[in-house]
C-alpha cells in the first residue's frame, strides 16, 4: 500500500493492520517479537478471564481506538460493558477504559511515555506499560499519579477493572 494522506476518520474506518495513525501520519508498527506476543497473551488471558467471569465488558488486542487526533492500537484494551459499542465490526468509537502497552525493542522510552499520557488525555482511565527487560509495570492514572510495580508486587485493576489482580511475575511467565 502506498503511503497516502488520510484523515483520522478514514483510518478508523479502514483496515490498516500494521499501522497506527499518529498526528496525521500513518506510522508503521514493527512486527512483535516472540516475547512481546507471549506477554500479550499472558496479560490478555488473565484480564479476559476476569472480565468474562464478572461480565465487566470487553477485552481485546490490537483494536483501533480514537486517542485525541490519533488512532492507536494498544496491545490489550478493556472497555467497560456500558461503553462497548453495539457494532463490534468496526474500530472503537471511544477510548478504552484500560490500555496496556508492552514495550518493544524498537520502542523509544520518550514515545511510550508520550503515548501513555495521550491515552489519559483522551479519557482512558488507566494505562499499564509493561517493561519486559526490567519485568516491571508502570501504572499511569494521571500525569502525576504514576507508580511502578516489580515482579514482587501484585497488579490490580483498581476501580477500572474491579476485582482484577495478578502477580506481576505471572505476566512474564
Cβ atoms of 80 and 60 within 8 Å: the answer is no
Residue 1 scores a pLDDT above 50: no
CB contact set of 157 (below 8 Å; sequence gap of 6+)? 47, 50, 98, 126, 163, 164, 165
Q: Which domains does the chain have, with CATH numbers?
A: 32-171 (3.90.1570.10)
Furthest-apart CA atoms within the chain: distance in Å: 47
Tens of pLDDT along 98-156? 999 999 988 888 889 999 999 999 999 999 999 999 999 999 999 999 999 999 999 99
pTM: 0.90
Closest Cα to residue 79, out of 51, 49, 103, 120? 51
Q: What is the mean pLDDT of residues 6-30?
A: 80
For the CA atoms of 28, 43, 130, 60, what is the dihedral angle to 10 degrees? Answer: 40
Amino acid at each position: 500500500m502506498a503511503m497516502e494522506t488520510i484523515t483520522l476518520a478514514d483510518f478508523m474506518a479502514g483496515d490498516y493492520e500494521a499501522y497506527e495513525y499518529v498526528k496525521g501520519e500513518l506510522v508503521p508498527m514493527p512486527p512483535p517479537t516472540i516475547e512481546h506476543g507471549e506477554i500479550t497473551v499472558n496479560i490478555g488471558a488473565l484480564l479476559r478471564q476476569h472480565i468474562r467471569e464478572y461480565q465487566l465488558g470487553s477485552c481485546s488486542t490490537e483494536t483501533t481506538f480514537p486517542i485525541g487526533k490519533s488512532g492507536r492500537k494498544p496491545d490489550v484494551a478493556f472497555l467497560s460493558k456500558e461503553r462497548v459499542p453495539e457494532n463490534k465490526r468496526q474500530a472503537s468509537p471511544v477510548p478504552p477504559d484500560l490500555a496496556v502497552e508492552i514495550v518493544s525493542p524498537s520502542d523509544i522510552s520518550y514515545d511510550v511515555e508520550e503515548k501513555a499520557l495521550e491515552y489519559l488525555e483522551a479519557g482512558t482511565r488507566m494505562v499499564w506499560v509493561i517493561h519486559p527487560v526490567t519485568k516491571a509495570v508502570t501504572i499511569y492514572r494521571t500525569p502525576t499519579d504514576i507508580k511502578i510495580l516489580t515482579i514482587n508486587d501484585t497488579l490490580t485493576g483498581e476501580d477500572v477493572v474491579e476485582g482484577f489482580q495478578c502477580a506481576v511475575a505471572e505476566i512474564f511467565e
